Amino acid sequence: MTNDPSSKACGHGFDFSVPQLAGVLIPIVLGFALLIGLLQALAAFKWLPTARPVQGFDEVLLSHRHTMLRADHPAEIIVIGDSSSAVNIEAPLLSRLLPAEPRVLNQGMFMGIDMAIYGQAAGNFIKHHPGQVKLVVLLTTAEQLPNTRMSPYHESYWHGLFEGDDTGKPRSPASAWLAMDVARLRLANHVVPFAVHGQSGWFYGHPLFLRDHLPRHDGSTVDRGWFNRSGREDLSHWRINPDRAREAAKLRDAIPRDVTLAFGIAPMPEGYVGPEFRDQRDALMREFNEWLQADILLTNLPARLPNGYCASTVHLNQRGQEAFTRLLAEELERLGALGR
Amino acid sequence: MLFNSTDFFAFFGVFLLAWYLVRGDLGARNWLIVFASYIFYAWWDYRFTALLLWSSVVDYAVAIGMGRVQSSSSSFEATPSVPHVDNNDGDRSEDDKSSLRLRRKLLLLVSLVSNLGVLFFFKYFDFFRESMRALLDQFGMQMNWTGLQFILPVGISFYTFQTISYTVDVYRGRVEATRNFGQFLAYVAFFPQLVAGPIERASHLLPQLARKLTITLPMVESGLWLFIWGLFKKVVLADSFGHLVDPVFSYVDPEATQTLIATVAFAFQIYCDFSGYTDMARGMARMLGFDLMLNFNLPYFAISVQDFWRRWHISLSTWLRDYLYVPLGGNRLGVGRTHLNLLVVMLLGGLWHGAAWNFVAWGLWQAVGLMANRLWAERTFARPVRLPGALNWLLTMLFVLYGWLLFRSTSAEQVLVLTASLAHWSPPIWAGAQFRELLFLAAPLVILQLFQWRTGDHEIVLRLPRWARGALQAVLIYVILLFWQREAAPFIYFQF
């Protein structure tokens, strides 16, 4: 590479040879390759600690939901759905508010995954606890119904849990080849003290605290945010995604017919949707139920709540959670949902 | 195009190949820089390349105009030995000289109006309009000006200041106007430092563009190290610190521990984000054979506010000193005027960062600190008391931290809420996790900088044996990939 043209018009010259440059780059490339080789070998010989899916909120949540499928829990009511179900319903409070105080287990997950997985979170629990569960409450946000699925990673993570693999499937072939998931789940998560990201981090701190919080609250979580957006949205263009309809049928199949299935749509902030949203919500609910075939539609639940009760367009905050749980308890009692 | 994106790596790979191919031709080399820099800039919004070109063309022409006037003026001044036979001729040459001076001033004015005008319209017009509207509202008056609502062209404050420094230096006779358009375009648009500095002086960068560069192996080694370390600071440290910061600064009722941890995290975030960018810019430039100025000199080791400003964003602080503070009179016109100059410079320095009142408040806070620092150092009020170095450092850091709280806040109300929150202490369960994360993230930076500070050697890593440095770089690259986000987080200073 050495060239030193003496011409004045010369742009630049390299005062080193290719072997000299290789002498700089090879230690880096070699070090990188050795590191990957070492990680792959340690994983292959099972010399690394077990996977610790603690880095993300989602992994902790899915891991907890999977653990609960066979856990010794006396739940008679199971709550399922997207993150609105995990966040908006406080399971112990709902239990206290209902006659005879039946135990409630929150198995709510999040948006972006196959809704059939919500069905598994209830159906498998029912299968492992025969004759125990009387009611399944499905709560989703209206936002979920028009959406297409987004996160194959989380779906494969969930399915992997059934196969005893809690590392999650690699996000990409390159990620597998570079041993990124091995490094992240089996190594980094044991030594890196990263807090949960976002607002939740300031409530739960480390993901391990979230893991502690979930069993103490029968699976319910809290969003500590505060909705302060202004300007309403016109959501009249929302239509149910046909994929969702197919998923709904699978969800229904996972719940035995002798268990009552109630379905509701989570409220949205008054600052985000207008009063006309109620009619739209009811229409969406009825249309979706053509596939879902729920036994009870929770149409008396509020379609909107004041901004002060909301953490975001799809989540309630702690204050909203308590209010909504009370309204849900009243509605379930009014409909005699447990006595069916 | 962000340095921390896959697009950029593809772009830089192609650029390096082209760089190798044009090594034999100086003109082609500079035009390659121009072409690549405009592609790089157009990646955000191709329309704003017109602004970049406008700034360059105006200042190129203005400087040449001033150069012509200078040479005419010199020809008058270079012939003093010629006896003036006719008194009228002598009078005319004096008139001509003052007319030439006036022409030079007018040319400078054209450059300043053009550059600052563009900056004002794109960055400050809506801010001043909104402030004026709020002020008139107080008096029950209505204002019907509509806002321009322009998108802020990325890096506009950086390249505008760079071109202004060029025309002012030509005006002052410190730099010769370049007649090579390609060189000048490359000076303004040089992509490694185009959007977030360092704000290079023409006297430093232009000569490098005008001559043949020799790229040595130590330059490649140090450039590579700077680039990897800068990328690590951005992708791993700055973006992770951001997770500790953002929730608190969008929160309604924070507690003291939250505010404190988030503010300290922001101090690290903004440093890692900005100095990470600078390191990458300097590293890339060095691999290409260029030298860009040092922009950060261990700022969190400062033991006074004045010391902090000698170490933080050096290319801006020296710019403000040379093109604003000194022309205003600097410290030559007495204590009162010195402090007034400091106030003006820091307020404008604050406003340079963004069109918002929190930046003005931050500038004011820094000005107050610098004034207090001067009064203390000159013992105007205080008795000659020498504080221990550690105490000096602690007081300086507390001052700097509160400054960052002002800087990061989005409203006066938030500043008040966060400040008041410092009085509400409680033992929350999350504090341990957040604090541990803060320490964990800060550790690699603090450890390296302690070595740099103790030895006074910024490139201490380059003294390691090659195999050890290679292993360290390999680990850093692996961790960068571990933290790599498909959607790259933008650099904080891009918004300025």
Q: Which residues of A touch B286 (CB under 8 A)?
A: none
Tell me what pLDDT residue B87 has: 46
Confirm whether the ipTM is greater than 0.85: no
Asked if A87 and A62 touch (Cβ cutoff 8 Å), the reply is no
Tell me what the pLDDT averaged over chain B comes to: 87
Please answer yes or no on whether A34 and B474 come within 8 Å at the CB atom.
yes
Smallest Cβ–Cβ distance between A205 and the set B213, B434, B466 belongs to: B434
Nearest-10 crossing angle of helices B412-421, B256-287:
120
Question: Distance between CA atoms of B353 and B161, rounded to whole angstroms?
Answer: 12
Identify any residues that bridge with A139 across adjacent strands, giving them in sequence order.
A81, A264
Tell me what pLDDT residue A55 has: 57
Q: In the numeric block, which tokens belong to residue B111?
A: 């450059």
Neighbours of B70 (CB within 10 A): 18
Smallest Cβ–Cβ distance between A195 and the set B216, B433, B478 belongs to: B433
Residue A261 pLDDT greater than 90, yes or no: yes
Tell me what pLDDT residue B229 has: 97
Neighbours of B150 (CB within 10 A): 12
Please answer yes or no on whether B27 and A24 come within 8 Å at the CB atom.
no
Told to judge if B458 belongs to the known catalytic residues of this protein, a careful annotator would answer: no
Residue with tokens 């992240």: A184
Tell me what the pLDDT averaged over chain A comes to: 86
Please compute the mean of the pLDDT values over residues B410-415 and round it to a whole number: 87
Assign A5 a pLDDT band (cuts: 50, 70, 90). Answer: very low
Tell me the per-residue pLDDT of A65-106, one tens digit each, with 9 for 90 and over.
999 999 999 999 999 999 999 999 999 999 999 999 999 999
Report the SS3 class of residue A213.
helix
Asked if A39 and A182 touch (Cβ cutoff 8 Å), the reply is yes
Please answer yes or no on whether A13 and B482 come within 8 Å at the CB atom.
no
Angle, alpha carbons B360-B438-B241 (nearest 5°): 50
Please compute the mean of the pLDDT values over residues A314-327 and round it to a whole number: 94
Question: Distance between CA atoms of A138 and A288, rounded to whole angstroms?
Answer: 12
Tell me what pLDDT residue B77 has: 45
Q: Is the Cα torsion angle B1, B7, B9, B11 positive or negative in sign?
A: negative
Residue B243 pLDDT greater than 70, yes or no: yes
Asked if A36 and A134 touch (Cβ cutoff 8 Å), the reply is no
Asked if A145 and A98 touch (Cβ cutoff 8 Å), the reply is no
Q: Is the Cα torsion angle B375, B378, B382, B386 positive or negative in sign?
A: positive
For residue A312, give the DSSP letter.
Answer: S
Tell me the per-residue pLDDT of A178-214, one tens digit each, with 9 for 90 and over.
988 888 878 887 777 676 666 666 667 667 677 778 9
Residue B240 pLDDT greater than 70, yes or no: yes
Which of A2, A21, A28 is best to mutate for the B interface (most B CBs within 10 A)?
Answer: A28
Residues A126-158: b if buried by 16+ CB within 10 A, e if exposed: beebeebbbbbbbbbbbbbbebebeeebbbebb
Assign A240 a pLDDT band (cuts: 50, 70, 90). Answer: confident
Q: Which residues of A touch B250 (CB under 8 A)?
A: 199
φ/ψ of residue A256, rounded to 5:
-60, 150
Please answer yes or no on whether B481 and A28 come within 8 Å at the CB atom.
no
Which of A1, A4, A14 is best to mutate for the B interface (most B CBs within 10 A)?
Answer: A14
Asked if A121 and A69 touch (Cβ cutoff 8 Å), the reply is yes
Tell me the per-residue pLDDT of A35-46, one tens digit each, with 9 for 90 and over.
999 999 998 888
The secondary element (H helix, E strand) that includes residue A13 is strand A12-14
Alpha helices in B217-325 (DSSP H): 217-232, 239-245, 256-287, 305-311, 314-320
Residue A3 pLDDT greater than 70, yes or no: no
The domains found in chain A, sorted by start residue, are 57-151+188-335 (3.40.50.1110)
Q: Which residue has the higher pLDDT, B65 or B435?
A: B65
Identify any residues that bridge with A305 across adjacent strands, giving them in sequence order.
A269
Residue A168 pLDDT greater than 70, yes or no: no
Residue B250 pLDDT greater than 50, yes or no: yes
Please compute the mean of the pLDDT values over residues A331-340 and round it to a whole number: 85
Residues A39-66: b if buried by 16+ CB within 10 A, e if exposed: beebbeeeebeebbbbbbbbbbbbbbbb
Q: What percent of chain B has pLDDT over 90?
A: 61
Among A101-110, B34-43, B357-366, B369-378, name the one with the lowest average pLDDT.
B369-378
Tell me what pLDDT residue B80 has: 39
Q: Which residue has the higher pLDDT, A209 or A329?
A: A329
Please compute the mean of the pLDDT values over residues A147-164 and round it to a whole number: 80
Question: Distance between CA atoms of B401 and B384, rounded to whole angstroms?
Answer: 27
Residue B230 pLDDT greater than 90, yes or no: yes
Using alpha carbons, select from A219, A216, A205 the residue that is nearest to residue A54. Answer: A205
B428 half-sphere exposure, CB direction, 13 A CA radius? 20
Q: Which residues of B touch A5 (CB under 8 A)?
A: 24
Residue A177 pLDDT greater than 50, yes or no: yes
Using alpha carbons, select from A106, A107, A81, A311 the residue that is nearest to residue A202. Answer: A311
